[in-house]
Amino acid sequence: MKAIWAAALLALVGGSVADAAAPQRAATHKTVKSRSAKHRKARRPRHHVAPPAEAVAEVASCIPPATPIAGAVPTPLDLYGPIFTEVQQARLFPDSKSFADATPLRARTAILADWCATHPESPDQLHAFVQRNFAVPMAPPIPAANPARPPVQDHIAALWPHLTRPPLAETSGGSALALPERYVVPGGRFREMYYWDSYFTMLGLKADGHGDLVESMLDDFVSLVERYGHIPNGTRTYYVERSQPPMLYLMLALSDANDPALEARRLVALRREHDFWMQPERVVTMPDGSVLNRYYSHADRPREESWREDVALQARTKREAGPLYRDIRAAAESGWDFSSRWFADGKTLATIDTTNVVPVDLNSLLYGMEGAIAEQCRAAADAACATRYDALAAARKKAVETWLWDDKGGRYGDWDIAKKTLRRGLTAATAFPLFTGLAASDRADLVAATIGESLVAPGGLRTTLARTGEQWDTPNGWPPLQWIAIEGLNRTGHETAARELAQRFLATVLHEYRASGRMLEKYDVEQARPGGGGEYPLQDGFGWTNGVVRALIARYGKAQ
């Protein structure tokens, strides 16, 4: 009888969280209603009778009330509570992301009732419970490399179908967000569409004649802004609370669409994204009263996709949990997770303080966004809008040039809010003001010289000069940062330096491709070999690498 009352009570307790997610869903949801043999035998009482007090107490203690992150949507932790945390703590899967991406095999209320009735004790019992109630995804295998090693651009062309996904409808109780059109994923453990990754992927899609996919992905991104007020880090519920570097305006520039209604809808989305970044928590007032921005997170708990790693870091450091987790999540929003840029001591993850940093790359991109909005408003004959965003861009440019410029170092850097000074250390982010057209010409010349003297390695652009073992530090070079620097150098009249950097990076990619047949997410640009570091194994067949390499080949000729 207790089990029956548990199921009934859980239907009430659980319904509130599931219902909270309903307005966010833009697709038809399917609920698998199968139950274990044990629970199929249960029958609803013919007449309402108050449940025993001990059954109420048992359920209340078994399933604590859910507390979703403010402004976000219910995540696997909110929906499954102790089930999620115990699976993660038991290390049932090598990758914390695996269970965060799991799809329930039956109704959430039935899963929670099963948990309360059986509460697995041993790892074997826990594993059996997961198998009984969830489908845990596995990374699809990358197509076997052709031993003949066809030209790398042909290999990339063959990877696009492998990375393309059909429109997606959400599954009730799962973490995937609905997407109305086809999209391209990075690959490997990254089974969903990611925000800033997709811009660099689109560069390659465009070069390979897949303009239709570019347009469908733009439709997906606009739909995300319309549903959530911004583009999430990735298309999972646990990513909704944060975003990534704002590249939507750059993606829109790749579009060949000529539809006034569509352009108007996209402009509305772009302005709404700007509003997201201008929320008070993400705005920093500089010493002269000017305004710049930072990465931020409202969530004060471990990332669900890296639960064990975050909990372990907090245990090692003994830092206050809430601020630590917000700084970790803010670094994930930056895309540079993790880098010495976000470390108070410039060396160790234990000192991460991302929310204390005003990053030059974020503010350069927001400058570009503001200029793009102004231009699109002019095209729509909205003079007031154009004037407003022109003024915002001009004010941001002045603030960046005032506070994020290091004249002695010939670099743009990141502002330390607490210390009221630029942080030490040259990083590839110095190229962003060149990329977005923010940098004054004389300063662009100094940055170009600094990049050539210090950041350019034999195999491409170093991410930083700090050797911390983190993946967004030297000796790693990342495809998106190669593109940003190459484009920035080209835009500011340093075409020879841009071409040389492109050739160095292409040579590194080609060297690894010939050796292993793989396209990797990052490379050691000092030794022309696979990159290292990070919370997960090196990924293959990677979207942004394919995109950047294909776009560079289109510009500079075939790789040999």
Active site residues: 337, 521
Query: What backbone torsions phi and psi does residue 524 show, to the nearest 5 degrees?
Result: -80, 105
Please give the full DSSP string across 73-136, using - where no structure is assigned. ---HHHHHTHHHHHHHHTT-SSSHHHHHT-EESS-HHHHHHHHHHH---SHHHHHHHHHHHEE-
Instruction: Say if CB 159 and CB 520 are below 8 A apart.
Output: no
Q: What b-and-e string marks burial along 396-430, b requiring 16 or more CB atoms within 10 Å of the CB?
A: bbebbeebbbbeebbbbbbbbbeeeebbebbbbbb
Q: 């399933």: which residue's tokens?
A: 63
Contacts of 120 (CB under 8 A, 6+ apart): 86, 126, 128, 129
Phi, psi of 233 (to 5 degrees): -45, -45
| DSSP letter, residue 471 | T
Contact criterion met (CB below 8 Å) for 343 and 319: no
Q: What are phi and psi of 332, to 5 degrees?
A: -65, -35
Q: Which amino acid is at 439?
A: A
Q: Which residue has the tokens 């995540």?
A: 75
| Alpha carbon of residue 226 to chain centroid | 18
Residues 6 or more apart whose CB falls under 8 angstroms from that of 533 comprise 469, 470, 471, 473, 476
- Residues sharing a CB contact under 8 Å with residue 28, sequence separation 6 or more, in sequence order: 169
Long-range contacts of 537-542 (CB under 8 A, 24+ apart): 539/186, 539/187, 539/188, 539/189, 539/190, 540/142, 540/187, 540/188, 541/142, 541/143, 541/159, 541/162, 541/163, 541/187, 541/188, 542/186, 542/187, 542/188, 542/479
Given the structure tokens 């850097």, which residue do they identify? 413
Other Cβ atoms closer than 10 A to 91: 10
d(CA 458, CA 549): 17
Answer yes or no: are the C-beta atoms of 88 and 249 closer than 8 Å. no
Residue owning tokens 């996919």: 213
Contact assessment for residue 126 and residue 87, using Cβ atoms and an 8 Å cutoff:
yes
The Cα 98–Cα 365 span in angstroms is 32
3-state SS string for 370-392: HHHHHHHHHHCCCHHHHHHHHHH
Two tokens, residue 502: 């492109």
